[in-house]
Protein backbone atom coordinates (compact mmCIF):
# COMPACT_ATOMS: atom_id res chain seq x y z
CA UNK A 1 0.00 0.00 0.00
CA UNK A 2 1.47 3.33 -1.03
CA UNK A 3 1.24 6.54 0.99
CA UNK A 4 -1.78 7.93 -0.88
CA UNK A 5 -3.70 4.66 -0.53
CA UNK A 6 -2.85 4.51 3.18
CA UNK A 7 -4.00 8.06 3.84
CA UNK A 8 -7.18 7.63 1.82
CA UNK A 9 -8.04 4.33 3.52
CA UNK A 10 -7.38 5.86 6.91
CA UNK A 11 -9.72 8.76 6.17
CA UNK A 12 -12.53 6.44 5.16
CA UNK A 13 -11.89 4.10 8.05
CA UNK A 14 -12.15 6.96 10.55
CA UNK A 15 -15.33 8.13 8.80
CA UNK A 16 -16.89 4.70 9.20
CA UNK A 17 -16.06 4.59 12.90
CA UNK A 18 -17.14 8.15 13.70
CA UNK A 19 -20.20 8.17 11.49
CA UNK A 20 -21.11 4.80 9.94
CA UNK A 21 -22.65 5.06 6.49
CA UNK A 22 -25.30 2.55 7.49
CA UNK A 23 -26.65 5.09 9.98
CA UNK A 24 -27.47 7.51 7.15
CA UNK A 25 -31.24 7.86 6.81
CA UNK A 26 -32.20 7.66 3.14
CA UNK A 27 -35.42 9.36 2.12
CA UNK A 28 -37.19 7.12 -0.37
CA UNK A 29 -38.49 8.85 -3.45
CA UNK A 30 -40.11 8.01 -6.74
CA UNK A 31 -38.00 10.62 -8.53
CA UNK A 32 -36.74 9.57 -11.94
CA UNK A 33 -34.28 12.45 -12.11
CA UNK A 34 -30.76 11.16 -11.55
CA UNK A 35 -28.89 12.94 -8.77
CA UNK A 36 -25.12 13.38 -9.08
CA UNK A 37 -22.53 14.78 -6.72
CA UNK A 38 -20.00 17.20 -8.23
CA UNK A 39 -16.63 15.46 -7.91
CA UNK A 40 -14.72 18.70 -7.28
CA UNK A 41 -15.85 18.38 -3.66
CA UNK A 42 -14.37 14.87 -3.48
CA UNK A 43 -10.95 15.80 -4.83
CA UNK A 44 -9.47 14.58 -1.53
CA UNK A 45 -10.37 11.01 -2.48
CA UNK A 46 -8.94 8.82 -5.22
CA UNK A 47 -11.17 7.08 -7.77
CA UNK A 48 -11.87 4.00 -5.68
CA UNK A 49 -12.71 5.80 -2.46
CA UNK A 50 -14.70 8.50 -4.23
CA UNK A 51 -16.92 5.91 -5.92
CA UNK A 52 -17.28 3.94 -2.70
CA UNK A 53 -18.32 7.07 -0.80
CA UNK A 54 -20.80 8.20 -3.46
CA UNK A 55 -22.36 4.74 -3.53
CA UNK A 56 -22.68 4.54 0.24
CA UNK A 57 -24.22 8.02 0.44
CA UNK A 58 -26.90 6.98 -2.03
CA UNK A 59 -26.27 9.30 -4.97
CA UNK A 60 -27.21 7.96 -8.40
CA UNK A 61 -23.93 9.02 -9.92
CA UNK A 62 -21.18 11.57 -10.38
CA UNK A 63 -20.63 14.82 -12.24
CA UNK A 64 -16.95 14.12 -12.89
CA UNK A 65 -14.30 16.80 -13.34
CA UNK A 66 -12.35 16.18 -16.55
CA UNK A 67 -10.17 19.27 -16.63
CA UNK A 68 -6.79 20.47 -15.36
CA UNK A 69 -6.56 19.63 -11.66
CA UNK A 70 -9.67 17.45 -11.84
CA UNK A 71 -10.15 13.78 -11.09
CA UNK A 72 -9.31 13.08 -14.73
CA UNK A 73 -6.82 15.41 -16.39
CA UNK A 74 -7.36 16.02 -20.12
CA UNK A 75 -4.03 14.59 -21.26
CA UNK A 76 -4.92 11.23 -19.67
CA UNK A 77 -8.60 11.10 -20.58
CA UNK A 78 -8.20 8.09 -22.89
CA UNK A 79 -6.50 6.08 -20.15
CA UNK A 80 -8.27 7.25 -17.00
CA UNK A 81 -11.87 8.04 -17.91
CA UNK A 82 -12.65 4.42 -18.92
CA UNK A 83 -11.23 3.25 -15.58
CA UNK A 84 -13.50 5.58 -13.59
CA UNK A 85 -16.56 4.66 -15.66
CA UNK A 86 -15.89 0.93 -15.25
CA UNK A 87 -15.43 1.32 -11.49
CA UNK A 88 -18.62 3.34 -11.18
CA UNK A 89 -20.64 0.87 -13.23
CA UNK A 90 -19.34 -2.02 -11.14
CA UNK A 91 -20.47 -0.18 -7.99
CA UNK A 92 -23.97 0.38 -9.37
CA UNK A 93 -23.67 4.11 -10.08
CA UNK A 94 -22.88 6.04 -13.26
CA UNK A 95 -20.87 8.97 -14.55
CA UNK A 96 -23.85 10.88 -15.93
CA UNK A 97 -21.98 14.05 -16.86
CA UNK A 98 -18.52 15.54 -16.97
CA UNK A 99 -17.31 19.05 -16.24
CA UNK A 100 -14.66 20.36 -18.63
CA UNK A 101 -12.80 23.52 -19.60
CA UNK A 102 -13.75 23.15 -23.26
CA UNK A 103 -14.67 26.54 -24.78
CA UNK A 104 -14.77 25.57 -28.46
CA UNK A 105 -13.33 23.09 -30.95
CA UNK A 106 -9.84 24.61 -30.59
CA UNK A 107 -9.64 23.95 -26.83
CA UNK A 108 -6.83 21.55 -25.88
CA UNK A 109 -7.93 17.89 -25.86
CA UNK A 110 -11.52 18.83 -26.72
CA UNK A 111 -11.94 16.15 -29.38
CA UNK A 112 -10.20 13.52 -27.25
CA UNK A 113 -12.41 14.25 -24.23
CA UNK A 114 -15.70 14.15 -26.14
CA UNK A 115 -14.77 11.14 -28.25
CA UNK A 116 -13.77 9.17 -25.15
CA UNK A 117 -16.77 10.26 -23.10
CA UNK A 118 -19.20 9.49 -25.91
CA UNK A 119 -17.72 6.01 -26.42
CA UNK A 120 -18.39 5.33 -22.73
CA UNK A 121 -22.05 6.36 -22.92
CA UNK A 122 -21.73 9.74 -21.22
CA UNK A 123 -24.32 12.10 -22.68
CA UNK A 124 -23.66 15.47 -21.04
CA UNK A 125 -20.64 17.72 -20.66
CA UNK A 126 -20.36 21.15 -19.11
CA UNK A 127 -18.25 23.56 -21.14
CA UNK A 128 -15.85 26.10 -19.68
CA UNK A 129 -16.83 29.54 -18.43
CA UNK A 130 -16.91 32.49 -20.79
CA UNK A 131 -16.07 36.05 -19.82
CA UNK A 132 -16.93 39.28 -21.58
CA UNK A 133 -13.98 41.07 -23.14
CA UNK A 134 -13.96 44.57 -21.70
CA UNK A 135 -12.45 46.11 -24.84
CA UNK A 136 -15.48 45.03 -26.93
CA UNK A 137 -19.02 46.34 -26.94
CA UNK A 138 -21.87 44.04 -25.93
CA UNK A 139 -22.95 43.04 -29.44
CA UNK A 140 -19.40 42.23 -30.48
CA UNK A 141 -19.03 40.10 -27.37
CA UNK A 142 -22.25 38.24 -28.14
CA UNK A 143 -21.14 37.62 -31.72
CA UNK A 144 -17.87 36.07 -30.52
CA UNK A 145 -19.64 33.99 -27.88
CA UNK A 146 -22.19 32.73 -30.37
CA UNK A 147 -19.39 31.52 -32.63
CA UNK A 148 -18.08 29.48 -29.71
CA UNK A 149 -21.47 27.88 -29.18
CA UNK A 150 -21.77 27.10 -32.89
CA UNK A 151 -18.47 25.27 -32.59
CA UNK A 152 -19.58 23.46 -29.44
CA UNK A 153 -22.89 22.43 -31.02
CA UNK A 154 -21.05 20.99 -34.03
CA UNK A 155 -18.77 18.92 -31.78
CA UNK A 156 -21.73 17.77 -29.70
CA UNK A 157 -23.56 16.65 -32.84
CA UNK A 158 -20.48 14.74 -34.01
CA UNK A 159 -20.20 12.80 -30.77
CA UNK A 160 -23.88 12.56 -29.87
CA UNK A 161 -23.53 14.57 -26.67
CA UNK A 162 -25.13 17.66 -25.12
CA UNK A 163 -23.08 20.73 -24.16
CA UNK A 164 -24.30 22.55 -21.03
CA UNK A 165 -23.32 26.06 -20.00
CA UNK A 166 -23.42 26.82 -16.27
CA UNK A 167 -24.52 30.35 -15.33
CA UNK A 168 -22.62 32.22 -12.61
CA UNK A 169 -23.35 35.54 -10.91
CA UNK A 170 -20.89 38.30 -11.71
CA UNK A 171 -19.99 40.61 -14.60
CA UNK A 172 -19.61 37.58 -16.85
CA UNK A 173 -21.41 36.14 -19.83
CA UNK A 174 -24.49 34.13 -18.91
CA UNK A 175 -25.08 35.70 -15.51
CA UNK A 176 -28.16 37.56 -16.70
CA UNK A 177 -29.22 34.44 -18.67
CA UNK A 178 -30.97 36.40 -21.44
CA UNK A 179 -27.53 36.78 -23.08
CA UNK A 180 -27.12 33.01 -23.04
CA UNK A 181 -30.46 32.68 -24.81
CA UNK A 182 -29.40 35.24 -27.44
CA UNK A 183 -26.24 33.22 -28.08
CA UNK A 184 -27.94 29.82 -28.49
CA UNK A 185 -31.51 30.57 -29.63
CA UNK A 186 -30.76 29.66 -33.24
CA UNK A 187 -28.97 26.42 -32.36
CA UNK A 188 -30.40 22.93 -31.97
CA UNK A 189 -31.28 22.34 -28.26
CA UNK A 190 -30.42 18.67 -28.72
CA UNK A 191 -26.73 19.59 -28.77
CA UNK A 192 -26.18 22.77 -26.78
CA UNK A 193 -27.94 24.52 -23.91
CA UNK A 194 -28.03 25.41 -20.23
CA UNK A 195 -27.05 23.74 -16.99
CA UNK A 196 -29.41 26.00 -15.06
CA UNK A 197 -27.93 27.04 -11.70
CA UNK A 198 -30.83 28.24 -9.54
CA UNK A 199 -28.52 29.64 -6.86
CA UNK A 200 -26.79 32.05 -9.23
CA UNK A 201 -30.02 32.76 -11.10
CA UNK A 202 -31.56 33.81 -7.76
CA UNK A 203 -28.57 36.00 -6.89
CA UNK A 204 -28.83 37.88 -10.19
CA UNK A 205 -32.62 37.97 -10.36
CA UNK A 206 -34.36 36.92 -7.14
CA UNK A 207 -37.79 37.64 -8.61
CA UNK A 208 -37.10 37.43 -12.34
CA UNK A 209 -35.38 34.04 -12.64
CA UNK A 210 -38.70 32.30 -13.55
CA UNK A 211 -38.78 34.50 -16.67
CA UNK A 212 -35.31 33.42 -17.80
CA UNK A 213 -36.01 29.78 -16.94
CA UNK A 214 -39.10 29.95 -19.15
CA UNK A 215 -37.04 31.60 -21.88
CA UNK A 216 -34.41 28.85 -21.77
CA UNK A 217 -36.63 25.92 -20.88
CA UNK A 218 -36.19 23.91 -24.09
CA UNK A 219 -32.41 24.28 -23.78
CA UNK A 220 -32.18 23.14 -20.14
CA UNK A 221 -31.02 19.52 -20.21
CA UNK A 222 -29.20 19.43 -16.83
CA UNK A 223 -29.46 21.52 -13.67
CA UNK A 224 -27.19 22.52 -10.81
CA UNK A 225 -28.49 22.65 -7.22
CA UNK A 226 -27.04 24.69 -4.35
CA UNK A 227 -28.24 27.34 -1.91
CA UNK A 228 -27.13 30.66 -0.38
CA UNK A 229 -28.11 33.61 1.76
CA UNK A 230 -27.00 37.23 1.97
CA UNK A 231 -24.74 38.08 4.90
CA UNK A 232 -24.52 41.75 5.89
CA UNK A 233 -21.66 43.15 7.97
CA UNK A 234 -21.10 46.89 8.41
CA UNK A 235 -23.34 47.64 5.44
CA UNK A 236 -21.31 45.27 3.25
CA UNK A 237 -23.35 42.40 1.79
CA UNK A 238 -21.76 39.15 0.77
CA UNK A 239 -23.01 35.85 -0.61
CA UNK A 240 -22.79 33.03 1.90
CA UNK A 241 -23.25 29.50 0.52
CA UNK A 242 -25.34 27.26 2.80
CA UNK A 243 -26.69 23.69 2.77
CA UNK A 244 -29.80 23.01 0.70
CA UNK A 245 -32.97 24.42 2.24
CA UNK A 246 -31.18 26.77 4.64
CA UNK A 247 -30.97 29.74 2.30
CA UNK A 248 -32.96 31.97 -0.03
CA UNK A 249 -33.56 29.71 -3.03
CA UNK A 250 -37.24 29.01 -3.59
CA UNK A 251 -36.93 25.31 -4.33
CA UNK A 252 -40.69 24.75 -4.12
CA UNK A 253 -41.35 27.14 -7.00
CA UNK A 254 -38.27 26.06 -8.89
CA UNK A 255 -39.14 22.37 -8.94
CA UNK A 256 -42.77 23.10 -9.76
CA UNK A 257 -41.48 24.76 -12.94
CA UNK A 258 -39.00 21.96 -13.60
CA UNK A 259 -41.99 19.61 -13.55
CA UNK A 260 -44.14 21.91 -15.70
CA UNK A 261 -41.41 22.23 -18.33
CA UNK A 262 -40.75 18.48 -18.22
CA UNK A 263 -37.02 18.88 -17.55
CA UNK A 264 -35.70 15.42 -16.74
CA UNK A 265 -31.93 15.60 -17.13
CA UNK A 266 -29.51 14.76 -14.33
CA UNK A 267 -28.92 17.08 -11.38
CA UNK A 268 -25.46 18.11 -10.17
CA UNK A 269 -25.36 18.82 -6.42
CA UNK A 270 -22.67 21.35 -5.54
CA UNK A 271 -21.86 21.69 -1.84
CA UNK A 272 -20.00 24.99 -2.03
CA UNK A 273 -20.41 26.03 1.63
CA UNK A 274 -17.56 25.60 4.12
CA UNK A 275 -16.48 21.95 4.14
CA UNK A 276 -12.92 22.23 5.33
CA UNK A 277 -11.61 22.99 1.85
CA UNK A 278 -13.58 20.28 0.02
CA UNK A 279 -15.87 22.95 -1.43
CA UNK A 280 -12.90 24.42 -3.27
CA UNK A 281 -11.49 21.13 -4.53
CA UNK A 282 -8.81 20.79 -1.87
CA UNK A 283 -6.73 17.62 -1.79
CA UNK A 284 -6.29 17.89 1.95
CA UNK A 285 -9.06 18.76 4.41
CA UNK A 286 -9.05 20.80 7.61
CA UNK A 287 -11.98 18.82 9.05
CA UNK A 288 -12.60 15.07 9.32
CA UNK A 289 -13.71 13.40 6.11
CA UNK A 290 -16.84 11.94 7.68
CA UNK A 291 -18.16 15.44 8.37
CA UNK A 292 -17.89 16.28 4.67
CA UNK A 293 -19.69 13.09 3.67
CA UNK A 294 -22.37 13.68 6.29
CA UNK A 295 -23.08 17.15 4.85
CA UNK A 296 -23.27 15.77 1.31
CA UNK A 297 -25.70 13.08 2.41
CA UNK A 298 -27.84 15.69 4.17
CA UNK A 299 -28.04 17.72 0.95
CA UNK A 300 -29.05 14.59 -0.94
CA UNK A 301 -31.88 13.86 1.48
CA UNK A 302 -33.05 17.50 1.33
CA UNK A 303 -33.07 17.41 -2.46
CA UNK A 304 -35.02 14.16 -2.53
CA UNK A 305 -37.65 15.69 -0.29
CA UNK A 306 -37.97 18.72 -2.62
CA UNK A 307 -38.33 16.41 -5.62
CA UNK A 308 -40.86 14.21 -3.86
CA UNK A 309 -42.95 17.20 -2.80
CA UNK A 310 -42.93 18.46 -6.39
CA UNK A 311 -44.02 15.05 -7.65
CA UNK A 312 -40.98 14.48 -9.85
- 140 inside domain: yes
Domain range for 257 is: 31-310
- 300 inside domain: yes
- 239 inside domain: yes
pTM equals 0.89
Q: In total, how many domains does the chain have?
A: 1
Q: What is the CATH classification number for the domain harbouring 85?
A: 3.20.20.150
Interatomic CA distance for residues 5 and 10, integer angstroms: 8
- 84 inside domain: yes
Going residue by residue through the chain, which has 312 residues, state the pLDDT in tens, using 9 for 90 and above: 443 443 344 444 444 433 333 333 333 334 489 999 999 999 999 999 999 999 999 999 999 999 999 999 999 999 999 999 999 999 999 999 999 999 999 999 999 999 999 999 999 999 999 889 999 999 999 999 999 999 999 999 999 999 999 999 988 999 999 999 999 999 999 999 999 999 999 999 999 999 999 999 999 999 999 999 999 988 899 999 999 999 999 999 999 999 999 999 999 999 999 999 999 999 999 999 999 999 999 999 999 999 999 999
- 23 inside domain: no
- 219 inside domain: yes
Task: Yes or no: say if 270 and 218 are a contact pair by the CB < 8 Å rule.
Answer: no
Amino acid sequence: MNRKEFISSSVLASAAVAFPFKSFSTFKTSSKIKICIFSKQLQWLDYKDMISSVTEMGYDGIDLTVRPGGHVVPERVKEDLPKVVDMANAAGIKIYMITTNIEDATSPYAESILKTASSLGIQYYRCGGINYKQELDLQSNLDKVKSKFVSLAEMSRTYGMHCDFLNHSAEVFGAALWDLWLAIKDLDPKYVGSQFDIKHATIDGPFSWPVTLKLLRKYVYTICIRDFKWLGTNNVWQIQPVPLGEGMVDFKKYFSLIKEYDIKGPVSVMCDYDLGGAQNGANKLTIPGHEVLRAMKKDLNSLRIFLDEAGI
